[in-house]
Amino acid sequence: MIEKGDVVIAGVSGGADSVCLLFMLCALREKLGFDVRVCHVNHGMRGEEADKDEEYVRQLCKNMDVPCCFFHEDVELIARKRKQSPEEAGRMVRREAFETMCRENGGTKIATAHHRDDNAETVLWNMARGTGLKGLGGIRPVSGKWIRPLLALTRAQTEGYLKENGILWCEDVTNQEDDYTRNRIRHHVLPALETQVNAGTVRHLGELSRQAQEVWDYLEQGVSRAWKQCVRIEPDADRDTAVGEKSVRGLLIEKDGFENELPAVRKQLIKRCIAFVCGRERDIEAVHVSAVAELFGKQTGRVLDLPGGIRAERTYTGVTLREKAPGRELRKTRETGGGFETALKIPGEVWIPGAGRRISCRFVDNIHISKAKEMPQKSYTKWFDYDIIKYSLSARTRQSGDYLIVDEKGSRQKLKSYFINEKIPWEEREKMLLIADGEHIIWIPGHRMSREYQISGATKKILEIKITEEKENGRDDQSAGSGRESR
C-alpha cells in the first residue's frame, strides 16, 4: 500500500474510523518513510455541527503536526444540479476533493478509512441492486493510488482502539438516521443477519469479496488475451471520406476466435469492446451484452443499436461495433413507402422531419415508484421501465416482425393484427410513428404501450419519452403522464 517516499493524502472527517486512520498513519510515517497530509470536506449540510467537526480536525492536525486542506461544498445544491442523490453527490464531491489535493500537493496515495463492515455493506448493497462478479468483490484494499489500510478491521475494533487510548472523535448524527440506503443496511440488514443467521456474516462477506476479486482479476487476464486474439481495431471508411472529419472509432470481433472462448470471457470481452467504442461503461447492461452475443448466430447484415450511439452489425467474419456517424440516424427501412428509423438519444432529443415531431428522453429522478404508478396517463408522454429495455430505442415506421405485449402474461400480438383489430386504415399504418426496442413495439403514440415496459415495484430506473408536435406557429406540447394504460 505504502512505499518509502510516498505522500499519503488521508481523508479525515472527524469520525472514529478516519481518526483511527490518521493515528495509524502517523504512527508509521517515520518507520516507513512517508509523509501524511489530511483532506477534510465540509458538505454544508449539518450547519454548526459540521463546522465543529472541521474545527476538531483542524486542531487535531495541528497537534499531530500534519498539513491539512479544507474544502467547503454545497452538496445538496450539487446533487440537484447533477440529478444525483445527496449520498451519491457527497461521495463524488469527496473523491474530487481528494484528487484535487493529491494533484496540487504532490500526493502519491489517497487513503480512506473503509473497514470490514463497510465492505460487507457494499457487497450486500451491490447484490440487492443487481451486480456481477466485479460488484461482488466489494471494496478493494488497493485500487491504483487509492488505499484502504483499515479494511481488515471492524468498526468495533477501530472504536475500541480510540477508547483504549483516550482519543475523542466526532459523532455524525446523520449516521444514526435511516434516510440513506447504506444506513438502512447498517442498522437493520447486517444486524439481522448476524443475530438471526450467522454471527460471522461480516467476516464471511469479506472472504467472499476477496475470492471474487481474485476470480475477477483472473477473468480480466483472460479477456485481455482474448482481445489480442480476436479483436481488430478498424476505422470507419465512410467517415474517412468526409473532409475535415475525424474517422469513427470501431472494431471487429472475429467469430472464430470469439467462439473458442469460455462464456464468461465472451461476455466481458463484449462489454469491454462496447465500452471501448463509446468511451464509457455506463448504461451497458447485461441485456446489451447478450444481444451482441446473439448476433454471432444470426445471418450477415443483421444490426442492433446499443447505448452511446453504437451500432453492432453481423458481418461475414464476425461482429463489428461502430459509432453511428452524424447524419446517418435517418434512414430508409424499405425501398418503397417512405419508411424511416431514427435512434433515440437517451437522454436527449431528436427531430423526426418526415413526421413533424420532436422526441425528448430523460430519466425521472427523485420520485417513488408507488407514486409514479398512480399518476394519470397522458397521450404523448409515457414512463417506461428502463431496466428491461434490451436494445437502443428507435422512432420508426413499421417493419416485418413487429409485435407488442398485450397482457401481464406476456402474450404477443403482431402489430399487423393490432392494426386490424383497432380498425386503423392501411394508409395510416404505413406512416404511423412507433417507438421500438428492436422488433418489440413499446409504444404506439396516441394509442397504447406494451404491457411489458410499464413501471412496477421492481423498477429501478424510469425513462420518460415525450413527443412534441411541430405546428406552423411553433411547438404544441402534449400532456404528460406515467405511461399506465387503461387497457
327 vs 244: CA distance, rounded Å: 15
> What is the tens place of the pLDDT at every residue in 82-114?
777 788 888 899 999 999 999 998 999 999 999
Average pLDDT in the chain? 84
**Predicted pLDDT of residue 336:** 34
Beta-carbon neighbour count of residue 78 at 10 Å?
A: 18
Q: Report the chain's C-alpha Rg in angstroms.
A: 27
**Predicted pLDDT of residue 302:** 83
C-alpha cell at 304: 442492433
**Predicted pLDDT of residue 337:** 46
**Predicted pLDDT of residue 454:** 85
474 vs 344: CA distance, rounded Å: 22
C-alpha 426, offset from chain centre: 42
Angstrom CA distances, 192 to 14, 122, 207, stand at: 28, 16, 19
| DSSP tag of 108 | S
**Predicted pLDDT of residue 400:** 82
Q: Which residue has the cell 446533487?
A: 79
Q: Which residue has the cell 447533477?
A: 82
CA distance from start to end of the chain: 60
**Predicted pLDDT of residue 485:** 41
**Predicted pLDDT of residue 261:** 94
Which parts of the chain sit beneath pLDDT 70? Answer: 235-249, 325-338, 353-355, 366-378, 470-487
C-alpha cell at 1: 500500500
Angstrom CA distances, 142 to 99, 202, 404, stand at: 16, 20, 48
Domains of the chain, start order: 7-120+138-181 (3.40.50.620), 236-323 (3.30.465.60), 341-477 (3.50.40.10)
218 vs 211: CA distance, rounded Å: 11
> What is the tens place of the pLDDT at every residue in 131-168?
888 999 999 999 999 999 999 999 999 999 999 999 99
Q: Which residue has the cell 518513510?
A: 33
Amino acid at the residue 282? R
**Predicted pLDDT of residue 373:** 59
21 vs 114: CA distance, rounded Å: 9
**Predicted pLDDT of residue 243:** 38
Q: CB within 8 A of 266, min separation 6: which ones?
A: 226, 258, 293
The angle at the Cα of 249, spanning 245 to 252, to the nearest 5 degrees, equals 140
Would you put residue 301 in left (φ > 0), alpha (ψ -120 to 50) or beta?
Answer: left
> What is the tens place of the pLDDT at every residue in 51-74?
899 999 999 999 999 999 999 988
